[in-house]
Amino acid sequence: MSAELNWRRVEIQSRRMSIKPFVADDAHDVFRSITLPITRFMAWEPPTSWPAFAPIWQFWLSSIRRGSDVHFVLRGLPDRRYLGLVGLHGVRTARPELGIWIREDEHGRGYGGEAVAAVAGWASERLDIEAFRYPVAEQNISSRRIAEALGGIVQGTQSTPKYTAVIYLIPPRR
């Protein structure tokens, strides 16, 4: 069903956020919010410059057009302030992967859990989901709490160049 979705028309509403697929106009807000502490628990390193970020966000756009991966931009209601991203990767698989990052100055306010729950709920209603994969750095307690609050169960670990990840499986939200 994901191939039939018009991603440009998707908007998910949570209590405090508007959640929409990334568009080119979001790129500057995203870039300005990428910091070393944010990427400490991410598989990728922060881009060193705006030109270095361009191929990254352009790849995101092509992934959205293909319907394989979607980076959702989180914006506060009612001010539309940029808050972070939720990734939904492997959209056409039975176990798509969820990922989250919230801008550093907004940590500790519950936006991550609210956003992941909203995207998981939306996807569960529209896609054929067996479960969501949710890899998270073993030491990232805040993100692990999000998975556990959504019923996630640890299914294994995975080594990355930066950390050991715990892989949760989160049931669909039906």
Is residue 106 a part of any domain in this protein? yes
Residues 6-51: tens digit of each pLDDT: 888 899 999 999 999 999 999 999 999 998 888 888 878 889 999 9
| Domain enclosing residue 28, as ranges | 2-130
Domain count, the chain: 1
Residue carrying the six token digits 């556990």 = 148
Within a domain: 171 = no
Q: What is the pLDDT of residues 89-100, one digit of tens each?
A: 999 999 999 999
**Model pLDDT for residues 108-147, shown as the tens digit of each residue:** 999 999 999 999 999 999 999 999 999 999 999 999 999 9
Q: Are 97 and 133 in contact (CB under 8 A)?
A: yes
Task: Flag whether 139 is in a domain.
Answer: no
Determine phi and psi for 140, rounding to 5 degrees.
Answer: -85, 80
- Residue 82 · residue 33 · CB < 8 Å: yes
Residue 135 lies in a domain: no
Supply the angle between the helices 111-126 and 141-149 in degrees, to the nearest 10.
40
154 domain residue, yes or no: no
pTM tops 0.85? yes
Q: Identify the CATH number of the domain in which residue 31 sits.
A: 3.40.630.30
